[in-house]
Structure 1
Amino acid sequence: MPASASGRPGEHGRVFGADGCRHVVFVAGFPAVGAQEYEACRRIAVEAEGAVGVCLVRRAAREDVERGLAVVGGTAHARVMSALPSSHETAAAMVHRPAQQVLEEGIGLVRHARECDSRVAVDAGLVDAPRANPGLPGAAGRLTEAGAATVVLADAIGDGIAPSPPARRSSPPAPASPPIPRPCRAPPRTSSSPTWPAPAS
């Protein structure tokens, strides 16, 4: 949620008092986009310090890592996150490289970020996790061993991380109600009906 649409980001964390930094992570933006985005992210990191954990999102590239660390450098509870496409389809579309190669590069970037500034938490977002290869749990473990604080499994296409619930069975149709009997009525009188003589005067 951009800062312009949500007021000052520190206000969200102050609801939790001194624990705001642990409960609220505010994604400030993508500082590698340009100079204005860089300055805006830096301002948010400084103004929200101590109230929320400010996080910056970056591509899986060394220059993005270093730029993100420069933005949040010196602020408390800062985080940076790399987006790592984890399926072959998404990796080919985003970075034009195999997913396994992107993962290996991501592990190296996590180590590099930790070496540059050990005070900043380094997160990894595995994009399109539902379509990733079966070795995804092992990949998350390797990222954690490299120093990742959090590994996020991102459902980028809407298939869902958890399997869909089974379809509900339709209940059998209710038995048909018996017909309601109609009241009996006397047949209408016709010309052949007998007539009774008038009483004698």
Structure 2
Amino acid sequence: MAEIELPKVLTDLLPENLRAYALYILGGLICVLGLIGLLLLVVVYKFLFGRRKKSEHEKSLKEYLTEYPDLKSSTGDKQLRIEGVPVRIRLVVIAPAGTVSEVDADQLHAMLEKLLPGLGDIYKHDKPRVKVWPTQVSYQGFATHFHRNTETGTAEGEQTRWAMIAGRVKVGKAQFMLGLALQSIKENTVGRRTVDSHEWAAVLRVRVRD
């Protein structure tokens, strides 16, 4: 088999005592460059397609409230109010908080009732949509995602029939994140509210109808 020789211009670049090994050095260099190129391709792939996957995830959290069916008349004996405005519950978003891996949506009635007496009963009567989100680290971050993903069809600052409230809930030793999309009969100026665990009762009220 004929011996492969490198061009003299390449071998002359090496020290004289290494020129006999020029072919092996070149092979090793090609392998190193190939490995670097492969790593760069992996980084580029994750950058492009990883961001796309995140975008698809964000898209799945979107709630277009303008597409919700019209409110039916309420016959319940309790009325929910946010900052004095009578509202109905149209959407409930819950998420585990911190190191908690999951939250049981089947226990939502009891959890809301402990948060604010009467709220669980209103939830059962209004029959809102319920969405369970992945674990959230902070209530501010959860609220930001909730407000960004609930589309009311109006620009910020404009009056709307929607009112949003989101934040952290502590019930005994347990805690979770909660977001509520509330709808009034007439346009209101409530807008979007972010609250911590001790502030829910200051913003929401349950009133017993006469």
Indicate the TM-score class for this superposition, using the shorter chain for normalisation: under 0.3
TM-score (norm 2): 0.25
> So what's the TM-score if we normalise by structure 1?
0.25
Larger Rg, first or second structure (1 or 2): 1
The structure that is strand-richer by fraction is 2
